[in-house]
Amino acid sequence: MNSNIWVLTSANAVTIATTLILAALGALFTERAGVLNLGVEGILLTSAISSFLAADSSGSIWVGLAVGAAVGALLAGVHATLTVVLRANQIVSGLALVIFGTGLANFLGKPAEGKTVATIIKPMTFGPLTRIPVLGPIVFEHDIITYGTIALAIGSAWYLFRTRPGLELRAVGDDPATVDAQGLSVARIRIRYTLLGGALIGLGGSWLMLAQSAAWHQAATTNGIGWIALALVVFAGWHPVRLIFGAVLFGFCLRLPFTLQAEQITFIPSAFMQMLPYVATLIALIALSRPGSKNLRGAPKSLGNPFVRDER
Amino acid sequence: MRAPFRIIFEQRSDTPKYLTALVPLVSVFAALAAGAIFLMSTGYSVSETYSNMLQDGFLSSRGITDTLGLSTVLICMGVSAAFAFQMNLYNIGGEGQGYLGMIGGAWAGLALGPHLPSAIMIPALLVIGAAFGAAWIFIPAFVRARLGTSETVTTLLLTYVAASLVNHFIYTPNSYFRAPDVTFPMGRTVPDSAKLTAIGDTRMYPTFFIVVALAIFLYWLVKRTEFGYRIQVISDSPKAAHYAGINSRRTTMQVMLISGALAGLGGATLIVGEFGKLDPGITMLGYGYAGIVIAALARNNFAAIIVSGILFSGLRVGGDKLQITTSTPIHIGVMLQGAILLFALGGEAFRRYKIRAVRMQAVAQ
């Protein structure tokens, strides 16, 4: 076995981690505001196909990314309307979004089947840095969105823990009654971050399409990444920087089956390798929920509860 | 600038009966109207799409019997979802538990061989399929009851694992489940004694009546027994349940395992019915996900699930035939399912609250 496949898998892990970080960051902002959006998988799919169609008809990747993010915010807006304004059950609303989004994406994607985007986002070049063995391909062969995403995650941690609006956001997720007593609108803050979260998830879906697969494979385009992103938020203890490490780890699990297959390593049946990311996520989730786990301390205390002030 | 009106939500002390029936009904029509606008804006014919769906799903004799036939598995998936949902346990992995039910049913059919009579084979397949479904939810149920691990994500993740398992059993050469002597990978058919015959000239199987009876039995179980009462108390107030000495952990396990078994049973009905073998095509059909919508639309009422299950089945049957009869993509069927659920959720607010718009001055006074 040569060391190349591990380098290749690691490099690919960073690539797929970009979508995971963007989607998980979107879910994290939403959840920090106290809103659980299980619709990530549906938003990813719909924004992926929307960005494909937009990029295909406009000829610009950037238009594609912008449309994908806007569609993500739009679907999250449906969730916000139902759960924040109309106080519907957040879990069921999120699931409805997955089902609706999957149907919508497949409907819109029918003309796109078998087509590829003409131009995809290209990796940046760092000259000689890329040629460094091992480190080169893992660290210096990605596109601007990947680097931007990592910077965004770090910036989000600063925003969340070091700024006034970040404090308000955390307070809305933990103790909305106090925020309300301060004279701030709980509903407005929750809607704002649900929309922002949707836009980030949408960006993740668009990037997945325009930088990675560049072809529409119906539901297999995302293949459960949205659910892994949701688990990743728990795994990271609702902390944006820890998302980066978790995403690379899960990204590695997601890419490993393909690499092993390409290298014709077949002593493990491929079906079992395909289970790996989901099983790994499951084990991580269970391990983190054991009593006394530090991870759950970051969990927003009123996550999933609609805020109802006593009306006069 | 502030809006001149404020929206006021007033909790209803008791909900009028007519609203309980009206809200789901209006949701269905609202979703169909939204779908019509969507179809128009994407350049497909609304009247052609809907009239074909209605004809092929409900009005033609082939259509209505196909709808009742498909509703068998959908009602099963619906009661599976509702059984967990009623206790605020969100088992959304009915899809995967259904695959396991198919694996279990197919395994039982092949292993018990061709010599046993149908009277033993059919019940055995259904029971073993249900047991496989329950086994597949065991880990999420156990960690939910013991550690409080959220069952939503765990049950869903296992669906992807179950899909890989089904593919493994069919695509691996010399697999027990794979048809020998055929180069094309497909499942080995269970013996005839393990299969029911369709009713008359239709694609409906007697399992339809079993499943309808089961839904009515569950309705009775939840409304009229001590077990049902326990579920009710825990879902209304976990604290009250604790003080009343109800063992929530055990009830959580029981409810989730039953939910998994019901989904497994749904998978097994496909083996004794139209499939007759383990078929990887099942992973494309999303019956388990439809079950979530069916349960939510029926507000977890087991009797109402029979109605919403048949309704959704008709949408599917009519939607799937669109490919043959029109140019509209069949995915409009799934989209409408999601839209109906979204509208039903929004409609819930009107059932639970009196919603009024009030002038700002009036509020200030």
Instruction: Say whether pLDDT at B1 is over 60.
Output: no
Hey, which of A109-118, A119-128, B232-241 has the most confident mean pLDDT? Answer: B232-241
* Per-residue model confidence (pLDDT) at position B3: 64
Q: What is the mean pLDDT of residues B326-354?
A: 85
Highest mean pLDDT among B23-32, B154-163, B311-320: B154-163
CB atoms within 10 A of CB A15: 20
Higher pLDDT, A92 or A40: A40
**Higher-confidence residue: A151 or B327?**
A151
% of chain B beyond a pLDDT of 90 = 60
Q: State whether B167 and A99 contact (CB < 8 Å).
A: no
pLDDT of A275 higher than 50: yes
Rounded Cα distance, B338 and B335, in Å: 5
Q: Residue B200: CB partners within 8 Å, gap ≥ 6? A: none
B310 or B152: which leads in pLDDT = B310
Residue B181 pLDDT: 80
| Predicted pLDDT of residue B332 | 85
Query: How many whole angstroms from its chain centre is CA B331?
Result: 18
pLDDT confidence band for B119 (50 / 70 / 90): very high
- What is the per-residue pLDDT for B348? 84
Residue numbers in A near B296 (CB within 8 A): 92, 95-96
Q: What is the pLDDT of residues B11-27, one digit of tens each?
A: 787 777 788 888 888 88
Reply yes or no on whether the pLDDT at B5 is more than 80.
Answer: no
Does pLDDT of B158 surpass 90? yes
| pLDDT given at position A118 | 66
Q: What is the rounded average pLDDT of the residues A53-79?
A: 94
pLDDT per position as a tens digit, B62-112? 999 999 999 999 999 999 999 999 999 999 999 999 999 999 999 999 999
Say which residues have a Cβ less than 8 Å from residue A222's Cβ, sequence separation at least 6: A41, A44, A45, A48, A205, A208
HSE-CB of B6 using CA atoms within 13 angstroms: 12
Among left, alpha and beta (phi > 0; psi -120 to 50; other), residue A214 is left
| pLDDT, position A312 | 35
Provide the ipTM: 0.88
Which of these, B24, B17, B26, lies nearest to B309 by C-alpha position? Answer: B24
Average pLDDT, chain B: 90
Residue A311 predicted with pLDDT over 60: no
Nearest residue of A to residue B168 by CA position? A271
Q: If you average pLDDT over residues B29-57, what whole number do you get?
A: 91
The pLDDT > 90 percentage for chain A reads: 46
User: Can you name the residues that pair with B356 across neighbouring β-strands?
Assistant: B8
Q: Looking at the partner chain, which of B92, B153, B289 has a beta carbon nearest the beta carbon of A285?
A: B153
pLDDT above 60 (res B129)? yes
Strands B5-11, B353-359: pairing kind? antiparallel
Closest CA to A34 of A176, A158, A166: A176
CA distance B264 to B251: 20
B365 pLDDT band (50/70/90 cuts)?
very low
Q: Using 50, 70 and 90 to split pLDDT, how confident is the model at A47?
A: very high
Residue B325 pLDDT exceeds 90: no
**pLDDT band with cut points at 50, 70 and 90 for residue B343:** very high
pLDDT greater than 50 at residue B296: yes
8 Å CB contact between A105 and A45: yes
Axis-axis angle for helices B151-171, A270-288 (nearest 10) = 170
**Residue B179, SS3 per DSSP:** coil
- What average pLDDT does this structure show over B240-264? 94
Structure tokens at B113: 């061989």
Cross-strand pairs, B11: B353
Please, which residues bridge with residue B357 across strands?
Answer: B7
Contacts of B332 in chain A (CB under 8 A): 103, 107
A130 touches chain B (CB under 8 A): no
CB-side neighbour CA atoms (13 Å) of A225: 31
Of the two residues A216 and A206, the one the predictor is more confident about is A206
Compute the count of residue pairs across chains A and B with CB atoms less than 8 Å apart. 144
- Residue B365 per-residue DSSP state: -
Q: Give the pLDDT band of residue B351 (cuts 50, 70, 90).
A: confident
CB count within 10 Å of CB B223 equals 13
Enumerate domains of chain A plus CATH numbers.
Answer: 4-124+133-298 (1.10.3470)
What part of B 110-129 touches A (C-beta under 8 Å)? none
Return the minimum-mean-pLDDT range out of B117-121, B125-129, B334-338.
B334-338
- Average pLDDT value for residue range A191-196: 97
Residue A1's pLDDT band, with cuts at 50, 70 and 90, is very low
Measured on CA atoms in the order B293, B294, B297, B301, is the torsion positive or negative? negative
Decide if pLDDT at A133 tops 80: no
Q: What percent of chain B has pLDDT over 70?
A: 97
Average pLDDT over residues B263-278: 95
**pLDDT band, very low/low/confident/very high, at A297 (cuts 50, 70, 90):** confident
**CB contact, 8 Å: A292 with chain B?**
no
User: Can you tell me which residue has the tokens 């719909």?
Assistant: A46
Is A93 near chain B, with CB under 8 Å? yes
Asked if B341's CB is within 8 angstroms of A95's CB, the reply is yes
Q: Which of A78, A93, A99, A272 is the best substitution to test chain B (most B C-beta atoms within 10 A)?
A: A99
Task: Name which of A155, A125, A153 is nearest A137 in CA terms.
Answer: A125
Residue-wise pLDDT for B165-211, tens only, equals 999 999 888 889 999 888 888 899 999 999 999 998 899 999 999 99
Nearest CA distance, B153 vs chain A (angstrom): 7
A231: chain B residues, CB-CB within 8 Å: 153, 157
**Mean pLDDT, chain A, as a whole number?**
87
Cβ within 8 Å of A, B 265-294: 289, 292-293
Q: Can you give the length of chain B in residues?
A: 365
Contact B338 A99 (CB under 8 A): yes
Residue with the two structure tokens 């709980």 = A186
Distance, in Å, from the CA atom of A240 to the CA atom of B362, rounded to the nearest integer, reads 44
Look at residue A26 and tell me whether its pLDDT is greater than 90.
yes
> For residue B38, what is the nearest residue in chain A, using CA coordinates?
A104
Tens of pLDDT, residue by residue over A142-181, are 788 889 999 999 999 999 999 999 999 999 999 999 999 9
Residue B85: what pLDDT?
Answer: 95
Please give the pLDDT value at position A288: 84
Residue A196 confidence class, pLDDT cut points 50, 70, 90: very high
Gap between the terminal Cα atoms of chain A: 71
What residue ranges in chain A does DSSP mark as E strands? none
Residues in Cβ contact with A131 at an 8 Å cutoff, skipping those fewer than 6 apart: none
Separation CA B81–CA A9 (nearest Å): 38
What domains sit in chain B, N to C, each tagged with a CATH number? 45-327 (1.10.3470)
**Per-residue pLDDT at A202:** 97
Closest CA to B218 of B292, B306, B302: B302
Record the tokens describing residue B163, joined without a space.
């899909």
Residue B229 is predicted with a pLDDT of 93
